[in-house]
Structure 1
């Protein structure tokens, strides 16, 4: 090789290394997460073989209030208000060290890269849908893993809409209190564009203490990605919700519709209050009524109360109690924290309680 070529190659390599080091120096990477576990009591569980009462449950649960997870989040300032970003987030199970609160994969909660700036934010990769995010934001119990709408959501469509693979999304800046978000998920099946296709959008308006939110989701079954729990159930979702904050109290109410392919078509009516009684003490409660439009004899009523005492900004102790009453074919459980045992419950009344600790880092 000629000397000039060698020098040129070495210079190119050195320049590449210098660029990589420079880019790294301008970037920030953050390790973050939540560790949450506690003791769970359920007066009834569902026997999956018979559909009847499987007996009481007392045991350690993963994620009593918040999902246990860890992740890496990075950002780089590109100048002119433009920023590159990425997020890798994995659900974990503190009871056995395995995967949980995700789709069964490493970094199975979120895995995306994007750009954000004055134009808004664009993300590409595995991410939450605007429909799922809207339900999360307008839940009076802050999407607690016990006795909140997250259990109703999972009971209807498992993880679909929560973890959307092959997805591209756009979120607008806030303009006059309005913010819009849209997502499209490619099914990834050659020759069949409709298989596994998912799309969702939301619109949020905020003025003073008032928040109004509307969202929808439309997803086809199938697709190139198979996850556990399933994240490709075919369903149509609709949501309307409102919240109002006055002083240390926030009131929330919502209507959600799930039309599941080959399953129920449930209307969900819910509402509740969150009260920051002290800077270190949060109290909340919620009530939800679920009714199948195709079978009015199948319905559920669930209510729950919770209290969290923060020992610090990062660590909290909590206690929760809840009750659910099922009629007809309804099988709503109080929590997805210990899998199908707690996600579903038999007919009649099931009561439950949980105490635990949550640490954020």
Structure 2
């Protein structure tokens, strides 16, 4: 009996040491607000909604864990789920519980190597020169249009290393297709330089997505995407600008292109009150993949947003945004009241512009 009690005591001591070396953090963001959009259908109707996955800041519930393995090495993981603040539903139609992030990896002074569903290299790079720092993502086109290389990718093997002012990134996402050959794969490299008030970055992505439509057999074609931009901070102000260029090979020959450019700035009027404004311009070639237009077109989006911090974790926000569509991105009137979202690359039927207003509260925990 004494030996058994002694063994249990020793095991308990080791368990305490192991637990002390492992830390798990629960975190998240809860964003709820009201949004009004005008000219959302052929009749020029407006709509006011609450349901969203976060108007200002994306809703999320996350878990992060880090274990010290000794010798400067650590094991870590991230699981992050998104949700709709109006309904409590998951933020995706595939019912993925951890749709936002699900990866595990090893890290040390040499950097970090992670495997799983992750934010892409292009997405992380553009974050350094987005005027809104990836806020109002459901309105601003960067996550869907300007980072055509994707926001997140499955089956991703990604390396990140920071050496002084330079952060280097590289990734390869498995296509998991029979026969291999790179079909459905995703590869990228990127880097960011940040030193004092100046930061800039660039990334290049090569993919081979399936461009077949309907019930047609799979048809994997090359996609090339690159982006570059920078930001400069001086006192309470910050200016940022960027550019993105994408080429997608068509199944029938030739290619389709999409270009995006943006510029904007922010100013902290007081420690609590901040104001940001930016312009985002999108240009697509004829028959661009995923757009469905038959002629080339353009879209311009101007947005002004304001935040007022009640604390370090809670703030009020508001925005006004105006999108103008031209040529192939201006949808002809169909006589129906088909409702589109502001994040669509095309206008509502019979409309050449859309106007939106948002107001709400965001809490971080």
- In 2: Cα distance, 1:15 partner to 1:195 partner: 53
TM-score normalised by structure 2 residue count: 0.81
CA contact (8 A) 1:38 1:355 kept: yes
Which residue number in structure 2 is paired with residue 314 of structure 1?
Answer: 313
Q: Secondary structure at the match of 2:126?
A: helix
CA contact (8 A) 2:285 2:296 kept: no
Alignment of 1:12-161 (within 5 A): 22-45=17-40, 52=42, 55-62=45-52, 63-100=54-91, 104-145=95-136, 149=140, 151-155=141-145, 161=150
Structure 1 residue 353 corresponds to structure 2 residue 357: yes
Which residue number in structure 2 is paired with residue 243 of structure 1?
Answer: 231
CA contact (8 A) 1:93 1:99 kept: yes
More deviation in 309-318 or 115-124?
115-124
Q: Secondary structure at the match of 2:225?
A: strand
- In 2: Cα distance, 1:233 partner to 1:273 partner: 37
- In 2: Cα distance, 1:238 partner to 1:282 partner: 31
- In 2: Cα distance, 1:83 partner to 1:102 partner: 35
CA contact (8 A) 2:128 2:231 kept: no
- In 1: Cα distance, 2:14 partner to 2:222 partner: 46
Structure 1 residue 328 corresponds to structure 2 residue 327: yes
- In 2: Cα distance, 1:53 partner to 1:291 partner: 26
Which residue number in structure 2 is paired with residue 229 of structure 1?
Answer: none
- In 1: Cα distance, 2:58 partner to 2:222 partner: 25
Structure 1 spans left out of the alignment, 5+ residues: 1-6, 47-51, 224-231, 333-338
Structure 1 residue 204: Cα displacement: 1.1
Which residue number in structure 1 is paired with residue 292 of structure 2?
Answer: none
Q: Secondary structure at the match of 1:137?
A: coil
Question: CA 1:117–1:132 in 2, change beyond 3 Å: closer, same or farther?
Answer: same
Structure 1 residue 166 corresponds to structure 2 residue 155: yes
Q: How many residues align?
A: 329
Cα deviations by residue, 1:239-295 (Å, 9 ceiling, x for unpaired): 110110111111001111233455852211111001122111121010011112458
Cα deviations by residue, 1:96-132 (Å, 9 ceiling, x for unpaired): 1111179741111111111121101111111011101
CA contact (8 A) 1:130 1:215 kept: yes
Question: CA 1:203–1:157 in 2, change beyond 3 Å: closer, same or farther?
Answer: closer
Question: CA 1:302–1:342 in 2, change beyond 3 Å: closer, same or farther?
Answer: closer
CA contact (8 A) 2:128 2:200 kept: no
- In 1: Cα distance, 2:182 partner to 2:62 partner: 32
Structure 1 residue 156: Cα displacement: 7.3
Question: CA 1:104–1:182 in 2, change beyond 3 Å: closer, same or farther?
Answer: farther
Structure 1 residue 219: Cα displacement: 1.8
Question: CA 1:116–1:294 in 2, change beyond 3 Å: closer, same or farther?
Answer: same
CA contact (8 A) 1:125 1:166 kept: yes
If each structure's helix is expressed as a fraction of its own residues, which one has the higher value? 1
TM-score normalised by structure 1 residue count: 0.82
Structure 1 residue 207 corresponds to structure 2 residue 207: no
Which residue number in structure 2 is paired with residue 343 of structure 1?
Answer: 343
- In 2: Cα distance, 1:173 partner to 1:284 partner: 29
- In 1: Cα distance, 2:59 partner to 2:275 partner: 21
- In 1: Cα distance, 2:310 partner to 2:115 partner: 38
- In 1: Cα distance, 2:227 partner to 2:363 partner: 31
Structure 2 spans left out of the alignment, 5+ residues: 212-219, 288-294, 332-338
Which residue number in structure 2 is paired with residue 49 of structure 1?
Answer: none
Q: Secondary structure at the match of 1:134?
A: helix
- In 2: Cα distance, 1:165 partner to 1:137 partner: 23
RMSD, aligned CA:
3.0
- In 2: Cα distance, 1:104 partner to 1:140 partner: 32
